[in-house]
Structure 1
Amino acid sequence: MTEWQNKISANDDNYTHNINTNNERQLDRRGFMKTMAGAAGLFAVSSLPWGAIAAKELMGLSDKEYPHHKIAELKDVSVGSSIDFHFPTEHDSAIMIRLKEDKFVAYQNACTHLRCPVYWIKEEKEMVCPCHHGKFDPTNGTPTAGPPRRPLPEIALKVKEGAIYAVRVKRYEA
């Protein structure tokens, strides 16, 4: 080897002079930010269909009728009594109360505070959540005591041919 082959020119005098970068991709800060912005945009666009489906479901909640579910025969429910049932699915527990001869109300009976079950106490004419002493007005499901702030979701009822049916869950309105 000759002496001139061992010398490094002044322009190449750095610590990376022996690394071949011809086939490597350069990614500076601007390129990295462009890549990240593109990935975020792709993620946002790809999630739009799911958001549209969720919005459609939430917006149409008041119009969605479920298959009518027979709760009980009129003659089997006395004034002041309640019946537990499941609606709209078998995993959603609900309670129906006969307040007067011709007035029935039904609610999903999961407390709006922490989803504990809500019970009808006939003697006190109150709906009570025993977990944190929450109470609800049976005529409209609004909270009257305790930590719950939102009313119980109401279930629309229909009386036909001597029976009481649950037909839909009413939309919550703030």
Structure 2
Amino acid sequence: MSDKNNKIPFQEDNYTHNINRNNERKLDRRGFMKTLVGAAGVFAVSSLPWGAVAAKELMGLGDKEYPNKKIIDVKSIAIGDSTDFKFPGDHDDAILIRLSENKYVSYQNACTHLRCPVFWVKEEGEMICPCHHGKFDVNTGAPTAGPPRRPLPEIEVKVENGAVYAVRVKRYEV
């Protein structure tokens, strides 16, 4: 045999290939668990500031004011009719229903079950989600049938200068 064939094909101080080295790095089960718990602790502590920011934001949602948005002129909506509009943002669908001469109700019209659109059916006097046959009480937004368990978020409206305005989204209490 030649000396050439007995040469080790890698560096002798490379820990990956030299399993007989005395100072080999060891990671037994206990060391692995310590590392895992330490990493989880670091993650938990580092996420605390974000949790505090989220909690602060969620606590103030009920008091959040939006610029009043004109929905429709009073003379343009008959008693028993409805109109769709966007509030508070351009991607937030909502519905306004005129129940009597001076009573208007408004809700975000995404079903609280799976966010399907909710429609006002004047003949039946009900708000209906056609996806899973959910029904909502027009006076309260509370579910009356189907899979939805939570009421529709109500939008507070006011009548001023012959027009109906959206003021704020009321959050329901859990």
- Normalised-by-shorter TM-score class: 0.7 to 0.9
Match in the other structure for 1:84:
84
Once residues 98 and 159 of structure 1 are traced to their aligned partners in structure 2, the CA distance between those partners, rounded to angstroms, is 12
How far residue 34 of structure 1 moved from its aligned partner, in angstroms, is: 1.8
CA separation of 1:19/1:79 partners in 2, compared to 1, >3 Å: closer, same or farther? same
The answer on 1:19 being equivalent to 2:24 is no
- C-alpha separation between the residues in 2 aligned to 1:158 and 1:130? 29
Tell me the equivalent position of 1:36: 36
Shift of 1:110: 0.8
TM-superposition CA deviations, 1:25-62 (whole Å, max 9, x none):
33333322221111101101111122112212221111
TM-score (structure 2 length as normaliser): 0.83
Number of matched residues? Answer: 157
TM-score, normalised to structure 1, is: 0.83
Question: How far, CA to CA, are the matches of 2:91 and 2:32 in structure 1?
Answer: 48
Q: For residues 96 and 32 of structure 2, what CA distance do their matches in structure 1 show?
A: 59
Gaps of 5+ in 1: 1-16
* Separation (CA, whole Å) in 1 of partners of 2:58 and 2:162: 33
Identity %: 71
Which amino acid in the other structure matches residue 33 of structure 1? M
Shift of 1:18: 7.8
1:105 corresponds in structure 2 to 105
Give a deviation string over 1:56-104, Cα, whole Å, max 9, x none.
2221111001122110111212111111001111111110001111111
The answer for unaligned runs of 5 or more in structure 2 is 1-17
CA distance in 2, matches of 1:32, 1:149: 45
Aligned residue number for residue 60 of structure 1: 60
Q: Secondary structure at the match of 1:169?
A: strand
Letter paired with 1:21: N
Does 2:124 align with 1:139?
A: no
Counterpart of 1:48 in structure 2 is 48
**Which has the higher mean CA deviation after the structures are superposed, 97-106 or 46-55?**
46-55
Instruction: Determine the C-alpha separation between the residues in 1 that align with 2:118 and 2:87.
Output: 15
SS of residue matched to 2:131: coil
**CA positional deviation for 1:105:** 0.6
Q: Map residues 108-119 of structure 1 onto 2, 5 A cutoff.
A: 108-119=108-119
Aligned equivalents of 1:37 and 1:18: distance in 2? 27
Compared with structure 1, are the counterparts of its residues 32 and 78 closer, same or farther at alpha carbon in structure 2 (3 Å cutoff)? same
- Following the alignment from structure 2 to structure 1, what is the Cα–Cα distance between the partners of residues 144 and 38? 51
| 3-state DSSP of counterpart to 1:100 | coil
Aligned to 2:169: 169
Could you say if the C-alpha distance between residues 21 and 146 of structure 1 is closer, same or farther in structure 2, counting changes exceeding 3 Å?
same
Task: Give the greater-gyration-radius structure (CA).
Answer: 1
